[in-house]
A and B are shown apart, each in its own frame.
Chain A
Amino acid sequence: MTRSFRRCGRNNHGTTGLRVGIVSVACAAALLAVPHSGSGSEAPRPSSDAQAALDTLFTWCRERTDVHGEILTYGVGQRARHGAQNPHNLILDVPRAIGAVEARPDGSFRWSRLEAAVKPRWRAQESYWDSGRTPQGWDGDTDFFVNEWWVRLEAVQGLFVSYGRENLQWGPAYFLSPTNAFFRDNGRSNPKDEVDGMDFFRITWIPSASWTVSVMVNTDEGRQEWMRDFEQTYAVKVDWTGYRRYASFIASKRADRRWHWGGYAGMTASEALLLYTEVDMSLGSPALYPEQDPASPFGVVLTDSRRAEKRLNPLILVGGAYTLASGPTLVAEYVYHHAGYDEREADRFFHVIQAAGAAFGQPSPVGAAAAATLAQSLDPGLRLLRRDYLMLQYQHMDWWKTLDVVLRTTFNVDDGSVRLNPIVEYDFGDRMKGFVVGAQTVGSDWAGLRSRTHPNRTEFRRIGDYSFWVGLEFFF
């Protein structure tokens, strides 16, 4: 929920990332620095045999290596709400504006049955705070890390073993991927903000063109920042592809021994129409629910009261995409999230936020309890806060050969709040693009739309008003 805002950029994985990054970039630099035949005339010339061997090695490497990427420069303007959830921006400490430059090279190597890839990243950014814990003004930050890397070996034909840091996503849906036990964010709301990689060990078996069996485990949180403790999760995924349709079954087991079962399926109903669904089932919920507690200074506590429940919690997504003959594609998705808060729980949840927000800054123990409660409520462990959601999307790519437009609207049917995500890209020639990526929340008095509840008591508006990225990408 907080991902729609750009963070400051600092994290505690920088050291490891830096080490791996230096090694990877050094390798890439060494690879690129190997001279072409006929170049390097000022260096002492090796013997013709050595030169020929070097040329051969260089050619061998070049034929098996691919390096491309992009340099981005962008500005971010964003505004967090200073309501009870984030009093005076002291909880989230979100900067008001950011200016950044990023280099995102992607390198890959393929030799026989061995494949490897590395995605080192360098980012320099200046952030401006006008509220929060950080003193008002600008603050600079530079980060260097490897967001993704992996090595994959085809041990025997059709059997792949891989290890590395990946952004492992699947499923046909735009809004969210219910069956993905590893990543909550599918990266679709802001394609310019890369999803942080997580470390995985994977075995993929492809017995035929129609079937694939994958076994995977996340071995470390990698670049991901978990608000709670890292949860090691094991998953088995079985994929089937048939004539104009496909289906997958996914079972995952988390560190708390909780099982999830689910899958997704899709079909090409006609040359223009795609239909799909994705379902996840689990017993009970490890999320935090607001329960009345007279001992609490706020009258309500957030607790995992449903952890031991034997009730089935389905998360169901149904969707479809239709491409008009004139080019645009219309997408609609509906999500039912049974583990989400009902009206009574939502009332209690926002009540405890209001109470904790009011007590925030008071002397301990009430002040400390307020801070802890607000931190808990930022991420109560739910994929979505409420139960019913509708997403509508208009997508027109290659408009007038230069323009890609995606307009996405997500309705929280239960509380009436809305999130708008425009994604617009414009081509400036073959190597450069300009982009605007936004997230605007609506829920009360904005544009005449009126929520049934107070804006600070809706899911999409409780944290932020807007976040807009404007920038340029240069491809190499």
Chain B
Amino acid sequence: MYERLMPKRRACDLGALGAIFFLSFLSLGALSASCWALSAREILIHADRARGNLDGVVWRLAIESDEQSGRDRRNLEIKARGYDFLAVMTDPPKVQGHKLLMVNHNMWFAKPGLSKPVPISPRQKLIGGASYGDIAATNYAEDYDVLSMTEESLGGHPCYVFDLKAAHKKVTYDRIKYWVSAERLVGIRAEYYTLSEKKFKEAEFEYAHQLGGSAGQAPQPFISAMKIVEVLAADNVTTLRFSEPRMETVPASTFNVNLLMSR
């Protein structure tokens, strides 16, 4: 990842002495160097891409919810482009054919037997602790203001820790504390807070998948698991497992609400 930062470093080349000094600086702490080279917003853009913010990607999603009130599961097939996605539930049979469409941050829900798609808000629950908005790619770089960015180690991995505040009222969470791996530039942990500054939800992320990597481009890490724990009921755990991701062209008609009922 640091290779991408080199052009910026060269731009600030102060000559050989400077280079030696700079390399010494790097050897003392790559974390500080990358922090210097990448702005907070650029780091968030990298982290957003690994959460699905890509030009055309298809994957399967398995959600398991284990709560005091019982266990539940959903399997979905998802087609996404940027922040738009179409999610079709495939299992269990009672939800087969249920669809969730998000276009330009407008969301609709449809299912067999329902005559037309129903507009829904991102807060509406999908299953367990997962809201419909949790399927969507994140856009923290634009939806949130960075109040602070610090560095700390999480599980032995150096991280940037962002204190994010909603830039507008239309986002799912008002405030987020977000840990981004300094090595991979992917979000690995998040804490979600209410308007009253009360923490109500925690999430951890894994990135075992890689996308792309052809035509001279570096492979792009892609989310493989998201574990959501409700703070007020720590036994309530919802796990989202992302599998079989592949990049492909997804036409605009996929996200057309007029065709949703007949998809």
Contact = CB atoms under 8 A, between A and B. Distances in A.
Contact of B105 (A160, A244, A329, A398): A244
Contacts of B119: 172, 266, 274, 276, 321
Given A186-B116, A271-B170, A68 B121 contact: no
A271 B122 CA distance: 5
Interface in B75-120: 84, 91-94, 96-97, 103-107, 112-116, 118-120
Given A427-B94, A476-B93, A166 B65 contact: no
Contacts of B103: 209, 241, 246
A68 B93 contact: yes
Q: Which of A209, A246, A266 neighbours the largest number of chain B CB atoms within 10 Å of its CB?
A: A209
B123 interface: yes
Contacts of A152: 262
Given A241-B104, A431-B94, A323 B253 contact: no
Contacts of A186: 115-116
Interface string A365-402: 00000000000000000000000000000000110111
Contact of A160 (B84, B97, B122, B253): B253
B213 interface: no
A167 interface: yes
A268 B122 contact: yes
Nearest to B252: A209
A175 B50 CA distance: 41
A246 to B, nearest CB: 5
A240 B124 CA distance: 24
Interface residues of A, number: 70
A243 B121 contact: no
Contacts of B253: 154, 158, 160, 206
B216 interface: no
B97 A106 contact: yes
Contact of A401 (B69, B116, B170, B171): B69
A266 B106 contact: yes
B104 A398 contact: no
A117 B169 contact: no
Nearest to B108: A172
13 contacts: A167-B115, A167-B261, A170-B116, A188-B115, A206-B253, A239-B258, A241-B103, A246-B103, A246-B106, A268-B106, A271-B171, A273-B121, A329-B124
The 9 closest A-B pairs by CB, nearest first: A187-B115, A430-B92, A169-B116, A475-B93, A169-B115, A209-B252, A272-B123, A323-B123, A270-B169
